[in-house]
Amino acid sequence: MSAAEELRLELDELRQLEGLAKRPRVQSLLANEIRNVEAKFAMSDCDVRWQLAKATAPAPEPQAAASAPPARPGLNYVTLGSFSWDQDTDKIRIYVFLEGVEQEKVETDFKPMSVDIKLHDVKGKNYRCAIPKLNKEIVPEKCKVLVKPSKVVITLCKASKGNWVDLYYKEDKFKPSMDKEKDPMSGIMDLMKNMYEEGDEDMKRTIAKAWSDARSGKTTDSLTGLR
* Per-residue model confidence as pLDDT tens digits over 57-85: 565 555 544 333 343 457 899 998 788 99
- Per the model's pLDDT, the better-predicted residue between 151 and 32 turns out to be 151
What is the pairing mode between strands 125-131 and 78-79?
parallel
- Domain range enclosing 27: 3-50
**Dist CA 27 CA 21 (whole Å):** 6
Determine the residue type at 25: R
**Where does a domain end: 130, 158, 186?**
158
Residue 118 lies in a domain: yes
**Where does a domain end: 133, 158, 183?**
158
Confidence of residue 142 (pLDDT cuts 50, 70, 90): very high
Please indicate, yes or no, whether residues 33 and 93 belong to a single structural domain of this protein. Answer: no
**Dist CA 14 CA 30 (whole Å):** 7
Please indicate, yes or no, whether residues 43 and 83 belong to a single structural domain of this protein. Answer: no
How many domains does the structure of the chain reveal? 2
Please indicate, yes or no, whether residues 141 and 106 belong to a single structural domain of this protein. Answer: yes
Scanning 68-200, the segments in alpha helix (DSSP H) are 184-198
What pLDDT is stored for residue 24 in this prediction? 78
Residue 81 lies in a domain: yes
Beta carbons of 160 and 136 less than 8 angstroms apart: yes
Contacts of 47 (CB under 8 A, 6+ apart): none
